[in-house]
């Protein structure tokens, strides 16, 4: 069976308020997304990366109506994404779906892998601490059915009730002020199989969330049925839904669309979180504060410039070239190789993609440019979008956008694996 038929994308939903006005408007009926105004929530928010003035033209932003934008810097209201971050992690079960075995076995399905994934992807800049002050199953007072949780369910009323019940049940042992966000690892026997329906969801930047110990539970990821494709790799790859959901907690949008992974393929965990391990785009690493300003080059001016790129998975060196097209969008260039979290790269080279900060989560804010269109790709790895797996540009290859007067040439690779790239702008 084709993975595209078995794997249903999950949704991110954020509820945001503007002062007294609260709205959570469901858009485009089929998608289950929610729109809202600009977040005005106070609080930590991701730490902004350094922004030398040379990078300003590359700090694209979306209009305030965009719910979750690729823009830099990330809007406030999300969790910090650098330094030590504490994830309150609870294992939850229900009277009609009692947790099988030990709750800590459920925890072990996601850790330490999720922690390791973030350490590797962030070059050690994100120190992710999953904490379990409650080590057993946290039993909810109502049946799973009673919460009315289904795919695309909004925060009200079911999730609000669930979060309130978690807060009440956990409160004797938990001081919510000590944590940056909440992970709810639901017992895998609650709800449908993930092969049929993925329920996992994150409510991020949610200013209407219940308050616990004086702080709002504004960023919460919920993980349900195991993402086990039956290929025998669950113990290695099944955790990957959690770094995806936590990506939302840090402000990253969904990159899959109604067409599944066809826009970005396996080049970012916000696009595909089944199958072999993958990393984040360099754009996301900059957005999250894992790249310094000095590792990003902004090709804003007309003329010809040459740049070096070192493998994105390796710490240090230049990582990202951005060619802004407007205040809203531009092309990003980075070097992807098979190392670090990137397990399924079958054609190392320069990945070129368009980022549009004015396109909302799930609507295709990033589109990879395929150097080998209709090739069928180079991977046979299950649940890896094949067509874009050979999208990278190798030495001697060129990308052109005639209309915008942009030409990118990959000039060569040195012995250390660093690539040289020429950008020409009309």
Q: Between residues 12 and 24, which has the closer beta carbon with respect to Zn ion?
A: 12
Closest among 197, 195, 170, 192 to 183, alpha carbons compared: 170
Rounded least distance, CB 339 to Zn ion, Å = 25
Tokens of 334: 């980075």
Tell me the backbone φ, ψ of residue 248, rounded to 5 degrees.
Answer: -65, -40
Q: Between residues 205 and 330, which has the closer beta carbon with respect to Zn ion?
A: 205
- Count CB atoms within 10 A of the CB of residue 394: 16
Return all residues near 1 (Cβ < 8 A) that are at least 6 apart.
none
280 contacts 289 by C-beta, under 8 angstroms? no
Rounded least distance, CB 120 to Zn ion, Å = 20
Q: CA-to-CA distance for 35 and 337, rounded, in angstroms?
A: 36
Q: Between residues 242 and 421, which has the closer beta carbon with respect to Zn ion?
A: 242
- Binding stretches for Zn ion (CB under 5 A): 12, 254
Rounded least distance, CB 8 to Zn ion, Å = 11
Rounded least distance, CB 253 to Zn ion, Å = 8
Q: Between residues 12 and 182, which has the closer beta carbon with respect to Zn ion?
A: 12
Q: CA-to-CA distance for 364 and 253, rounded, in angstroms?
A: 9
Rounded least distance, CB 336 to Zn ion, Å = 21
Rounded least distance, CB 391 to Zn ion, Å = 22
Rounded least distance, CB 86 to Zn ion, Å = 22
Cα distances from 269 to residues 243, 284, 362, 403, 408, in angstroms, run 8, 10, 13, 31, 26
Q: Between residues 240 and 297, which has the closer beta carbon with respect to Zn ion?
A: 240
Q: CA-to-CA distance for 180 and 196, rounded, in angstroms?
A: 32
Q: Between residues 269 and 352, which has the closer beta carbon with respect to Zn ion?
A: 269
Closest among 325, 384, 313, 392 to 356, alpha carbons compared: 325
Closest among 333, 250, 267 to 296, alpha carbons compared: 333
Q: Between residues 12 and 59, which has the closer beta carbon with respect to Zn ion?
A: 12
237 contacts 275 by C-beta, under 8 angstroms? yes
Radius of gyration of the chain (CA): 21
Rounded least distance, CB 247 to Zn ion, Å = 7
Q: Between residues 167 and 252, which has the closer beta carbon with respect to Zn ion?
A: 252
Cross-strand bridge partners of residue 26: 34
């Amino acid at each position: 069976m084709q993975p595209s038929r078995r794997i249903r994308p999950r949704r991110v939903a954020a509820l945001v308020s503007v002062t007294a006005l609260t709205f959570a408007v469901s858009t485009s009926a089929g998608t289950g997304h929610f729109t809202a105004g600009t977040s005005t929530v106070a609080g930590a928010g991701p730490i902004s990366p350094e922004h030398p003035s040379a990078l300003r033209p590359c700090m694209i932003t979306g209009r305030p109506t965009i719910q979750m934008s690729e823009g830099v810097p990330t809007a406030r209201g999300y969790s910090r994404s650098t330094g030590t971050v504490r994830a309150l992690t609870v294992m939850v079960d229900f009277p009609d779906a009692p947790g099988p075995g030990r709750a800590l076995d459920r925890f072990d399905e996601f850790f330490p892998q999720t922690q390791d994934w973030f350490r590797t992807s962030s070059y050690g800049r994100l120190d992710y601490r999953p904490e379990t002050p409650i080590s057993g199953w946290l039993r909810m007072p109502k049946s799973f059915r009673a919460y009315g949780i289904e795919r695309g369910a909004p925060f009200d009323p079911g999730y609000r009730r669930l979060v309130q019940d978690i807060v009440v049940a956990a409160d004797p042992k938990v001081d919510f002020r000590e944590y940056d966000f909440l992970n709810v690892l639901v017992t895998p026997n609650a709800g449908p199989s993930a092969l049929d329906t993925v329920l996992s969801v994150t409510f991020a930047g949610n200013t209407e969330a219940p308050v616990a110990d004086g702080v709002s539970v504004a960023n919460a990821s919920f993980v349900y049925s195991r993402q086990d494709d039956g290929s025998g790799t669950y113990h290695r790859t099944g955790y990957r839904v959690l770094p995806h959901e936590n990506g939302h907690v840090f402000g990253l949008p969904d990159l899959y669309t109604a067409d599944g992974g066809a826009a970005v393929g396996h080049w970012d965990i916000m696009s595909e979180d089944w199958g072999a391990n993958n990393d984040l785009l360099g754009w996301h690493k900059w957005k999250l504060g894992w790249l310094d300003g000095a590792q990003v080059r902004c090709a804003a001016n007309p003329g010809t410039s040459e740049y070096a790129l070192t493998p994105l998975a390796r710490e240090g060196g230049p990582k990202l070239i951005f060619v802004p097209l407007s205040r809203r969008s531009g092309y990003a260039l980075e070097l992807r190789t098979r190392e670090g979290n990137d397990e399924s790269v079958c054609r190392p080279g320069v990945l070129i993609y368009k980022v549009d900060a004015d396109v909302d989560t799930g609507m295709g804010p990033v589109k990879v440019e395929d150097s080998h269109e209709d090739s069928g790709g180079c991977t046979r790895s299950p649940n890896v979008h094949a067509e874009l797996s050979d999208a990278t540009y190798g030495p001697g290859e060129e990308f052109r956008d005639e209309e915008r007067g942009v030409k990118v040439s990959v000039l060569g690779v040195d012995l250390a694996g660093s690539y040289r790239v020429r950008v020409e702008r009309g």
